[in-house]
Chain A
Amino acid sequence: MKRKLSFLLNRRQVHVEVEPQEILLDVLRDRLGIKTPKCGCDRGDCGSCSVLIDGKTVRSCMVLAMEVAGLAVTTIEGLLENDHLTPLQESFIHHNSFQCGFCAPGIILSATELLEHNTHPNDDEIKEAISGNLCRCTGYQPIIDAIKDLTSHPESFNRTDVKKEVKS
């Protein structure tokens, strides 16, 4: 039987009707048009479906949609502020950290959570933070470089206008 579900999605209140057995990842992608969380392994191993729930990275393939009632869910779409990428995203672009991009949303969210608690993580802490996110293109080094570069030179990665970027 369908149930009413309300939660904060990328700082906007959303209302949707779901079956109790529906998975959060499917509701985000198929009902709410949020396509950045990807379905990779579908069992919590690969990290490509990661979203933030109340600021913490969580595998959305292992969450029932009903569980987020009243909570705040954030995806990459919600990191934008006034159409600006975050400095972390800028650094990833600068370092060419992704190739196919399938893992990118999950890794960006994991790194975002890390930098919330730890502004100057060392290599081991960075590796630990992204260890649950599999990337089959890069070998991880450009990802680690991007996070390290941002923490040592935060001034180099100011927020830029997404629309301008797209146009140019």
Chain B
Amino acid sequence: MPILQEFEYFKPSSVNEALHLLSHYKRASVLAGGTDLVNNLKSEIDQPDAVVDIKGISGLHTIVFKKNILTIGAAVTFSELIASKIIQSKYPVIAEAAKTVGSAGIRNRATMVGNICSAVACADSSPLLLVFQANVLVQGKKGKRKVAIAKWLKGNKKTDLKKGELVLAIEIPLPAKKYAGRFVKMGRYSGEDLAQASVVILALPKNQFRIAFGSVGPVPMRAAAIEKVLNGREPSPELIKEAKAMVPALISPITDIRATKEYRMHMSQVMFGRGLNDAVERFRGKGSDYGVSLL
């Protein structure tokens, strides 16, 4: 299918040049991996006057870990995240989640920043970034600002991005010196499919937990009520069972082409139970290897 909309294509080499283009054109779209944008151009969901390809800006291709904060540039692909030594050692659950995004051919192009800018309800990065309490680093003509991921995601396909602004990076603080994570995603089949439901769990020292659910509401959600019940207590099988029973009251899945509401509801509980168990085990140095499926 050809793209009918005519637009100008730019590939700036600096952030300032990109910002100038984004504010100069009335309707400018940012292009990174293009795995969402090009489809939106074809189906005329996006009808820009200008497409600004940010892959020419070298500063946006970096993954940096400094002062216990991981900074992922806007042009970094999921394949690059998976291959990153620093992510494998300090944030293995990010690699675990990145491996489940689409297929190799998608991951070679798609970016994490693009994922949270498209901000569809089933975005794999969103629940992950929620538990890490990540910040989105945004630059506009007036300067930079940082937005907490929870405030960034405003609804299905809605973000806090303002006209003329560009997302430079995501900043992910290291949650603790020693911690474990678990990402569980359910699709209809492995490879290529979008999530029917996903759960992310971080197990931190002193029995503290951070939990988020994806694809079971218009935006992914932190499960504060469950965290409250778990925090500070020994995660015994009874306690995990109690926490599992709280899931249905917290999430609001819908029925669509990929799964029914009831199936999502049931499986979110199953995934949460197994995920929590595995996160606890991983924290204790046992548990499964990162990247192994629990379903």
Interface residues of A (CB under 8 A from B): 1, 3, 19-23, 26, 42-45, 47, 50, 53, 56-59, 61-64, 66-67, 69, 110, 113-114, 127-129, 131-133
Q: Are A3 and B2 in contact (CB under 8 A)?
A: no
* Subset of 30 A-B contacts with CB under 8 Å: A19-B6, A21-B7, A21-B41, A44-B102, A44-B105, A44-B106, A47-B103, A47-B105, A53-B108, A57-B104, A58-B105, A58-B108, A59-B105, A59-B109, A62-B35, A62-B38, A64-B9, A64-B31, A64-B34, A66-B11, A67-B11, A67-B31, A110-B104, A127-B191, A128-B104, A128-B190, A131-B191, A131-B192, A132-B102, A133-B103
Chain B interface size, as a band, is 20 to 34
B55 contacts A by Cβ under 8 Å: yes
For B1-37 the 0/1 string (1 means CB < 8 A from A) is 1111111110100000000000000000001001100
Nearest first, the 5 A-B pairs at minimum CB distance are: A131-B191, A132-B103, A20-B9, A21-B3, A56-B108
Chain B residues touching A, majority SS? loop
Interface residues of B (CB under 8 A from A): 1-9, 11, 31, 34-35, 38-39, 41-42, 51, 53, 55, 79, 102-106, 108-109, 190-192
**Smallest CB-CB separation from B77: which chain A residue?**
A56
CA distance A152 to B55 in the complex (A): 39
Q: Are B5 and A21 in contact (CB under 8 A)?
A: yes
Given contacts A20-B7, A110-B105, contact A59 B35 (CB under 8 A): yes
Q: Are A57 and B51 in contact (CB under 8 A)?
A: no
Measured between beta carbons, the chain A residues less than 8 angstroms from B51 are 20, 64
Measured between beta carbons, the chain A residues less than 8 angstroms from B191 are 127-128, 131-132
Measured between beta carbons, the chain B residues less than 8 angstroms from A1 are 8
Which of B31, B103, B191 is the most central at the interface, judged by chain A CB atoms within 10 Å of its CB? Answer: B103
Q: Are A58 and B109 in contact (CB under 8 A)?
A: yes
Q: How far is the CB of A37 from chain B (nearest CB, A)?
A: 12
Q: Are A132 and B192 in contact (CB under 8 A)?
A: yes
Chain A residues touching B, majority SS? mixed
**Smallest CB-CB separation from B190: which chain A residue?**
A131
Q: Are B42 and A66 in contact (CB under 8 A)?
A: no
Q: How far is the CB of A47 from chain B (nearest CB, A)?
A: 6
Q: Are A42 and B106 in contact (CB under 8 A)?
A: no
CA distance A114 to B9 in the complex (A): 32
Given contacts A42-B42, A63-B38, contact A21 B108 (CB under 8 A): no
Tell me how many residue pairs across A and B have CB atoms closer than 8 Å.
Answer: 95
Q: Are B34 and A62 in contact (CB under 8 A)?
A: yes
Measured between beta carbons, the chain B residues less than 8 angstroms from A131 are 103-104, 190-192
**Smallest CB-CB separation from A20: which chain B residue?**
B9
Which of B41, B51, B108, B190 is the most central at the interface, judged by chain A CB atoms within 10 Å of its CB? Answer: B108
Measured between beta carbons, the chain A residues less than 8 angstroms from B109 are 58-59, 62-63
Q: Are A62 and B2 in contact (CB under 8 A)?
A: no
Measured between beta carbons, the chain A residues less than 8 angstroms from B39 are 43-44, 62
Measured between beta carbons, the chain A residues less than 8 angstroms from B2 are 21-23, 26
Q: How far is the CB of B64 from chain A (nearest CB, A)?
A: 22
Q: Are A132 and B9 in contact (CB under 8 A)?
A: no
Q: Are B5 and A59 in contact (CB under 8 A)?
A: no
Measured between beta carbons, the chain B residues less than 8 angstroms from A3 are 9
Q: How far is the CB of B285 from chain A (nearest CB, A)?
A: 24
Q: How far is the CB of B289 from chain A (nearest CB, A)?
A: 12
Given contacts A128-B191, A131-B191, A132-B192, contact A67 B53 (CB under 8 A): yes
Q: Which of A57, A64, A66 contacts B108 (CB 8 A)?
A: A57
Q: A21-B7, A58-B109 are known; give 16 further A-B pairs, CB within 8 A.
A: A20-B51, A21-B2, A44-B102, A56-B108, A59-B106, A59-B109, A62-B38, A64-B34, A64-B53, A69-B11, A110-B104, A114-B104, A131-B104, A131-B192, A132-B103, A132-B106
Q: How far is the CB of A46 from chain B (nearest CB, A)?
A: 9
